[in-house]
Every structure is written in structure tokens, then in C-alpha cells.
Copies of this chain bind each other. A is one copy, B any other.
Amino acid sequence: MGKRVFNFNPGPAGLPLPVLEKARDELLDYAGTGMSVLEISHRSKEYEKINQDATDLLRAAMGLPSDYKVLWLGGGASTQFFMVPLNLQLPGKPMEYALTGTWAQKAIAEAKLYGETKVVASSEDKKFSYIPKNVAFSANTAFAHMTMNETIHGVEWPYIPQVPKEVPLVCDASSDFLSRVIDPKKFGVIYAGAQKNVGPAGVCAVIVREDLLTRVPEKVPSMLKWSTHAKENSLYNTPPVFAVYICKLWLEYMKQIGGIPAIEKMNIEKAKIIYDVIDKSKGFYKGHAQPDSRSRMNVTFRLANEQLEENCAKEATAKGLIGLKGHRSVGGMRASLYNAVTIEATKALAEFLKDFQAKNQ
């Protein structure tokens, strides 16, 4: 077997080794059924339990109040970009967005198909290198939308914006889901593709406050209504069984190691390790995000020139540090430090970066 690498991919991303080992060990025989979890019926009591366990574990981990529904849906956040306006639109009301990077931009583009959108705050003027301060949404909006963490630019909200009580705050949490303690009651909807912090590609967790399920117009395809899936407990159609199963294993493991508070503590430590290297590099590494908006999940930085960046990523790969190239749309470097990245891996990266600087400056 090849040596296990340190995986800094931006998503799909690493999974905890115990999760992978359990999945492997029971891949041919799930819970004594004589079938693989890839083969069991989604109407079986075994899958109903997986679905319910994943949901219960997520509820407990986040402290979700009882009036929030958890949906496990196929597709990722890209599907929710249009399902959000489709499910939350109100006739005659605009939809308000905070524009903090590429993912917010994509969400807005899809919302425009459904009506007027308003950008209440933007950081486009400085290449999305910061989160605008004191963002406040108006009362005259169907919903308020924020992207909690921008994977490509490496910025993350350091605070929750002001939203009038009657307006639901909708959060794309794809890239920092379950990475920090948040108060779910501040949100109407939280959605997150699983493939960065809680599972593999192919499933999206959507958390919706119950009262918001009634807004969707009647003449909308069944599959596109959150209410369809809420009513059927995510079993309206055949769900992505294996992906939900892996999320369940991750959530079980998360509970074992101390839940989100323990995960957050580690994430703070990991981010500090890498940002410290940048800050102490005397400009050899230039962080993209302004310090008060730095993402704990995606550390983005540049070197003096593209050739040096290419060498850096290449040498890292040769040393088993994978996935450090920045997004193809912006270039540069990016280290993604999602939940499954260990302190050990992060320290190895820090050491590598210091060595690389020593050899190349």
C-alpha cells in the first residue's frame, strides 16, 4: 500500500482514517446483512437507521432546535444555489446577498433567474480579500444570503451579519460546515455540500426551519421542493445511500473526539500554525486574505512569482503534501485545513514551507 499522504485538497478532501477503515472493513457485509451497504435497499430498516442516525448525530452536534429539519439531498451546493430562491421567493420582494467571492457570485447568478437580487455588501473591489464590516440586510427582502467561507479566496465571516427578525438568514456553509460552533437559531437555512468537512462528494446537507417549507410555489418539480424531502425524511426518491453512510461514520467519529468544540479548537490551532509561517516569512509568503477575515479552512497565499509557486507545489507533492495549488481561476497557493486534516499534517506543511523559504530566498 502507498504511504498515506497529507491531503490539503480543497474538496473533495481527506476523511479521518478510522472512518475509512470502518467503511473498508464492513464494505462486503453491512451489519451482518450479508450485503454491502452499496447493495442494501433504501427502504430497508438498515438504511432507515443510517439515515436517522446521521440526522440525529447532526442535530446533536449542532444543537439544532426541534423546528429545524435536516435533509440529505443528492447534488451539492450548486443545486442549492437555485433551490434557495426557488423555495424561498416571495412575490414582489427582492432577494439580498452579500458578495464575498466566487461562490457568492455563483449563488447570485442563479437567484437572478427567479427575480430581483440586491447586493447589500461586496468585497469585489479588493479581489474578495476581506469580509465587509457591519453588513446589515434590510427588512424588505425574501431572504438574506451569506457564504460563510469562500474556498477560493480564503476568507471567512468573523461575525454573523445583522438581519431583521422576520427575515430568514440563509447560509452556504459548504466549506466550513461543522468546523466551528455556531448558533443555528440565527439562521433560517444552512446548506453544505458534504465533501469538505463531513463526508464524500455526492450529498448535500440542508437544514431548514420548518416554517420556511410552505413558501415554495405549488407548480415546481417535486424533487426541487425542500418540502417533498422534509415530508419523506429524505426518502422521497432513492437517496445517495453510501454518501449518507460515510457522513454518519464521520459524525460518529466527531462525537467520539469531542464534537464541534474539540474540532474548532483543533481548527484554530491548525490555522494559526500556517498563518504564523506566512506572517513570519517577511513577505516571502504573502497571504491573500486580510487578517481579520482570514479563513481557518483555506489559507490562500502567493509567492514572488508563478514559477516559484509551481516549484513549491511540486516539491510539496513529492514530499506527500498534496493539493496546495490555488484554484485555477485565481492561481497562487492554497492549503485547505478541513476537519480531517490533522495537527501532524499541518505541522509537516509548516516545516516544509519554512524549509522551502530557506532554500529559495
A82-117: CB near B (< 8 Å → 1, else 0) gives 100000000000000000000000000110010000
What range describes how many residues of A lie at the interface? 35 or more
- The reply to whether the CB of A9 lies closer than 8 angstroms to some CB of chain B is yes
The answer to whether A201 touches B33, judged by C-beta atoms less than 8 angstroms apart, is no
Bound CA–CA A74/B75 (angstroms): 5
Q: Which residues of B contact A74 (CB under 8 A)?
A: 74-76, 79, 202, 240
Asked whether, in the complex, the Cβ of B4 is within 8 Å of the Cβ of A79, the reply is no
Chain B contacts for A332, CB-based, 8 A = none
A140 within 8 Å of B by Cβ? no
Q: Of A22-30, A208-216, A258-266, A297-305, which binds chain B?
A: A22-30
Of all chain B residues, the one with the shortest Cβ separation from A196 is B238
Residue of B with least CB distance to A73: B75
Nearest B residue (CB) for A218:
B113
A21 at the interface (CB under 8 A from B): yes
CB distance from A333 to the nearest CB of B (A): 15
A39 and B14 form a contact (CB under 8 A): yes
Judged by DSSP, the binding face of A is loop
Query: In the complex the two chains form, is B242's CB within 8 Å of A201's CB?
Result: yes
Which of B7, B9, B11, B221 contacts A81, CB < 8 Å? B221
A162 at the interface (CB under 8 A from B): no
**CB distance A7 to B28 under 8 Å?**
no
Q: Are A41 and B21 closer than 8 Å at their CB atoms?
A: no
Q: How far is the CA of A1 from the CA of B34 in the complex (A)?
A: 8
CB of B1 within 8 A of CB of A29, answer yes
Which residue of chain B is the closest to A112 with respect to CB atoms? B219
A42 to B2, CA, bound (A): 20
Closest to A10 in B: B41
Judge if A243 is at the interface, Cβ distance under 8 Å: yes
Residues of B with C-beta under 8 A to A23: 27, 38
Q: How far is the CB of A16 from chain B (nearest CB, A)?
A: 10
Task: Assess the A224–B12 pair: CB atoms within 8 A.
Answer: no
Chain A residues numbered 223-258 whose CB sits less than 8 Å from any CB in chain B: 223-224, 236-243, 246
Complex contacts, A311 vs chain B, CB 8 Å: none
A1 surroundings in chain B (CB, below 8 A): 28-29
Given contacts A76-B238, A202-B202, A237-B76, contact A36 B10 (CB under 8 A): no
Flag if B201 contacts A239 (CB, 8 Å): yes
Report yes or no: B29 in contact with A27, Cβ–Cβ below 8 A: no
Q: B221 touching A110 by the CB < 8 A rule?
A: yes
The answer to whether A78 has its CB under 8 Å from any CB of chain B is: yes
| Given A41-B9, A78-B222, A240 contacting B201 (CB threshold 8 A) | yes
Measured CB to CB, the closest approach of chain B to A80, in angstroms, equals: 9
User: Is A139 part of the binding interface, using a Cβ–Cβ cutoff of 8 Å?
Assistant: no
B-chain residues with CB within 8 Å of residue A14 when the two chains form the complex:
35, 39
CB pair A15–B36 under 8 Å, yes or no, is yes
With most chain B CB atoms within 10 A of its CB, the pick from A27, A238, A323 is A238
Instruction: Scan A288-312; emit 1 where CB is below 8 A from any B CB, else 0.
Output: 0000000000000000000000000
